[in-house]
Amino acid sequence: MEYRIERDTLGEIEVEASRLWGAQTERSRRNFNIGRGTEVMPEEIIKAFAILKLASARANRRLRPDKMTEEKLSYIEDAAEKIKLGELSEEFPLVVFQTGSGTQTNMNVNEVICGYANRKAGKRLLHPNDDINMSQSSNDTFPTAMHIAALTSINSKLIPAVRGLIDTLKRLERENEGVIKCGRTHLQDATPISFSQEISGWRASLEYDLEAIIGASGALSRLALGGTAVGTGLNAPRGFDRLACEEISRECGLEFITDENKFHALTSKSELASVHGTLKALACDLMKIANDVRWLASGPRLGLGEIFIPENEPGSSIMPGKVNPTQCEALTMVALQVMANDVAVGFSAASGNFELNVYMPVCIYNFLQSVRLLSDAIISFDENCVKGIKPNREKMKENLEKSLMLVTSLSPHIGYESAAEVAKLAHRDGLTLKEAALRLGVIDEARFDEIVRPETMI
């Protein structure tokens, strides 16, 4: 393998000749062999960096034309576009567990853009610090990349996934109007409910979650770029932050604005913690819905068996013919992971000191994993389970007729205590509610039939 010599302020270091990165990337690659190369910086962050480097170069071209020439800008734009498209993904090997400011990833991007551009130009046209990092610091670029990656991921992945599942539930609501079943509380029989009403509860939960996510994520549009090292904006020309934000907005198709208080933007990660809290709330509702589905589908003969779900794969290596609610299980595991990630995001947000948060890589790693897992799991659950849900009308009718809680409708007419006696007698002696009520003499048959009608109880 051939190597070349790269230099930084610490001296010389060998770098594989084919690689675009430079000395600082190589030092980090060697010094932080944590996670064995699997917990690498998320691609969403790398692409966000490409966008902000492109935007910064354009802003510098307008504000510092003597330093950011048209030639330099054109090469930076070309390299950044390649990174955005994922064509240079192998040039970003650094792991999450590095410096807490993300400095080494910032320099990784600077060096790759510089290396690509200089090779294409055939000369040392660009310097990673003086040109690619012009008017910037790792301390304002990494939090900027975090917000860009978080907001774009939510808008491009999670929101469409949730909306798709909501649409499926709306269809199921329409298809199951008038299908009456037994309600359940505390895992015990309760008064009747229509299947469409039960589904509407699932649908509304997701709609409220989506509303909360959209409302909270607006805060991610505020960017730290322009604050440089500690929030004062040292070495950044006046107006750089606003011009760069305008360029970022154009590139992303979303509105980003400069954070008016850069001291907050560099050190606080409360916006990410707040938004992730809404992701956790979504995970809670998804776990509830998935558990409802697998309870209702339990059986096929000895469980509730009130709905049919798609049979996607064999469920057992030893029990022939067994099929399990695997999509529900996958979704609930994702929900648990998101809840765990919320702890990491929360502690990360709480652990900065003075002018900088130094837990940023692990914060955004967990945040983006939550968005990615939720998006993928929701789509899988929707496509492979929810769209194929069918009511087992016969089983619903059978369970409803057996339910002792239909006696609730008698309570206003014969009193709570007499109604309880009817239910207890029916359960103890294996009678129907009507048989028990007539045996106790608390009501006549005609009146019972008039009152105990499930369709009037929903």
d(CA 114, CA 123): 11
348 catalytic? Reply is: no
H/E stretch holding 401 reads: helix 393-402
DSSP state letters, 100-161: TT-HHHHHHHHHHHHHHHHHHHTS----IIIIITTT--HHHHHHHHHHHHHHHHIIIIIHHH
> Which residue is catalytic, options 147, 186, 274, 317?
186
The residue among 228, 279, 220, 215 whose CA lies nearest residue 255 is 220
| Options 18, 316, 317, 403, the catalytic residue | 316
Return all residues near 451 (Cβ < 8 A) that are at least 6 apart: 409, 410, 413, 443
Closest listed residue to residue 386, CA positions, set 194, 154, 206: 206
Give the DSSP letter of residue 97: S
Is residue 194 flagged as an active site residue? no
Helix (H, G, I), strand (E, B) or coil at 70: helix
* Residue 80, CA distances (Å) to 83, 228, 310 in order: 5, 21, 45
Phi-psi region of 122 (alpha: psi -120 to 50; beta: other; left: phi over 0): left
H-state helical runs in 218-304? 240-252, 262-267, 270-296
Residues contacting residue 320 through CB under 8 Å, at least 6 positions apart: none
What's the CA dihedral at 330, 332, 333, 334 to 10 degrees? 90
Contact by Cβ (8 Å): 114, 180: no
Question: Taking phi first (over 0 means left), then psi (-120 to 50 degrees means alpha), and beta for anything else, what does residue 356 get?
Answer: beta
d(CA 113, CA 80): 7
Please identify which residue in the block is written with the tokens 């947000």: 349
Residues designated catalytic: 186, 316
